[in-house]
Structure formats: structure tokens, C-alpha cells
């Protein structure tokens, strides 16, 4: 499964709404806001920053020795849009999410998801060209999806 930087991008926008920063400051602040549960890497933060620049949500000022990033009006509007769909304090959610990602339960869940994905790929490979088996697999997936929906509404 493809890793996404969306949550990190939103966190960066929140930081830059407070003040302009260079990349290393952003990395340190993200780590601090998670109470050390998130260790920001250049391999995550700098591509996220570049994507935000490419999306015209932040601007890059390279006049000094360091590249300084700041949020622009479009970035502020994006944060306002996100706030309409979210409840609670972003930084509380950030900290909780990062702590969860380091927990034993989260690691076990990820391992289980990886095993499931491997088996799913095998099943898809085996049923190619067999319409009846494809229909059965779709029904199985739909059933599991419904069970997850029911679990999440409890």
C-alpha cells in the first residue's frame, strides 16, 4: 500500500500558520508536538514541503542561508476547509496518532494488515479469469467492509 504524507502536510500547514520556519525547525517541532513519539525524517518532511509548494499552499523563501517556508492565503483556506470536517484540537490528535503508531497494538495491527494484503493479492492472482470466484471474492470483501462499518458505529 502506498504511504501518504497527508497528515504530515496538514501538520506542516498548522506549524506554518503559527510562524515561518525552515525544514529542520519543522522536523523538530513535529517531534516535540508528539512528545517524541514521532521522529520526523528528512525523507518525509522535505517531499511533503515540496508537494505543498507544488500545490501552492506554502511559499519558499530562499534569500538567506536557509530555505524558509511560510503559509500563503491558499494554505490558510485549506486549513479552514479541513477544520470544517474535523472536531477537536489538531495537535491533540497529532500526539495521540503518533503515540498510537508506536504502540504494540498498532504494530500488531499493521502486521495483520500486511498478512491480509499478501493473502488478498494471492487470491486475486488465483481467481483471474474465473467470474464466479471474482463474484465470491467481491461478496466476501463487501461483507467484511460492512462488518467494519458496523464495528465503527458502535
3-state helix, strand, coil in the chain (%, to 5): 70, 5, 25
Q: CA–CA separation, 22 vs 26, rounded Å? A: 6
The more confident residue out of 3 and 136 is 136
- In CATH terms, the fold of domain 6-102 is Arc Repressor Mutant, subunit A (1.10.10)
Average pLDDT, integer, range 6-22: 95
What confidence category does residue 3 fall into, taking pLDDT thresholds of 50, 70 and 90?
A: very low
Q: CA–CA separation, 113 vs 27, rounded Å? A: 28
Which residue in the block uniquely carries the three cell numbers 458502535?
A: 154
Residues in the chain, overall count = 154
Cα four-point dihedral sign 143, 149, 152, 154: negative
What confidence category does residue 4 fall into, taking pLDDT thresholds of 50, 70 and 90?
A: low
Q: Supply the pLDDT for residue 24.
A: 95
pLDDT digits (tens, 9 = 90+) for 23-76: 999 999 999 998 888 898 999 999 999 999 999 999 999 877 789 999 999 999
Mean pLDDT of all residues in the chain? 91
Amino acid at each position: 500500500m502506498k504511504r501518504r504524507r497527508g497528515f504530515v502536510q496538514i501538520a506542516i500547514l498548522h506549524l506554518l500558520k503559527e510562524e515561518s520556519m525552515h525544514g529542520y525547525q519543522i522536523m523538530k517541532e513535529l517531534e516535540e508536538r508528539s512528545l517524541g513519539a514521532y521522529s520526523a525524517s528528512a525523507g518525509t518532511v522535505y517531499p511533503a514541503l515540496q508537494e505543498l509548494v507544488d500545490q501552492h499552499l506554502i511559499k519558499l523563501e530562499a534569500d538567506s542561508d536557509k530555505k524558509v517556508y511560510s503559509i500563503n492565503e491558499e494554505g490558510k483556506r485549506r486549513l479552514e476547509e479541513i477544520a470544517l470536517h474535523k472536531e477537536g484540537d489538531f495537535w491533540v490528535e497529532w500526539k495521540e496518532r503518533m503515540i498510537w503508531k508506536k504502540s504494540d497494538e498498532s504494530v500488531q495491527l499493521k502486521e495483520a494488515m500486511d498478512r491480509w494484503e499478501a493473502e488478498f493479492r494471492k487470491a486475486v492472482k488465483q481467481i483471474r479469469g474465473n467470474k464466479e470466484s471474482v463474484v465470491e471474492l467481491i461478496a466476501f470483501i463487501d461483507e467484511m467492509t460492512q462488518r467494519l462499518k458496523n464495528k465503527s458505529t458502535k
